[in-house]
Amino acid sequence: MDWREWYDCLAKPTWTPAPGTIGLIWQILYPLIGVSFGFVFVQAVRGKLPWFVALPFAVNLVANLLFMPIFSWLRNLPLATGDILVVWATILWMMLAIWPHSRWVAVAQVPYFVWVTIATLLQLSITWMNA
């Protein structure tokens, strides 16, 4: 079965957003993430930001990109849960690291953090309900 059929068969909490809603939220967030992350990486390459400030952004980007392959291809709920916890924690780390250098980038992460908090609670619930 394809991953969408697999996902539809999983036990999920009643408050689970529809897949279309989840996709729409990411369509809104990804441009914001792209601009703010791009700014951080360009500033780090130019030497205007220390590399340790860009590190949590890099870790977050990798963890974010790994979530769907882990979840949908490997269908590994515990590993996907660990991955999304890394995404969540690195958003906090990013905000703290960038705040002294660029407050707009830190504030721009707030919608991302709110959504990933909801997604993390959802992933924890799905993992627990399907254990």
Assess if residue 71 is contained within a domain.
yes
The rounded percent of the chain whose pLDDT value lies above 90 is: 98
Who contacts 2 (Cβ-Cβ below 8 Å, separation ≥6)?
A: none
- The residue among 87, 57, 56 whose CA lies nearest residue 70 is 87
Assess if residue 112 is contained within a domain.
yes
**Residue 52 pLDDT class (50, 70, 90 cuts):** very high
Assess if residue 1 is contained within a domain.
no
Is the pLDDT at 86 greater than 90? The verdict is yes
CA distance 6 to 103: 41
Mean pLDDT for the stretch of residues 33-38: 97
Mean pLDDT for the stretch of residues 41-49: 98
Assess if residue 13 is contained within a domain.
no
Residue 36: per-residue pLDDT: 97
Assess if residue 10 is contained within a domain.
no
Assess if residue 11 is contained within a domain.
no
Is the pLDDT at 1 greater than 90? The verdict is no
Say how many domains are in the chain.
Answer: 1
Residue 102: per-residue pLDDT: 98
Assess if residue 9 is contained within a domain.
no
> Domain range spanning residue 37?
18-129
pTM for the predicted model, two decimal places? 0.95
Assess if residue 7 is contained within a domain.
no
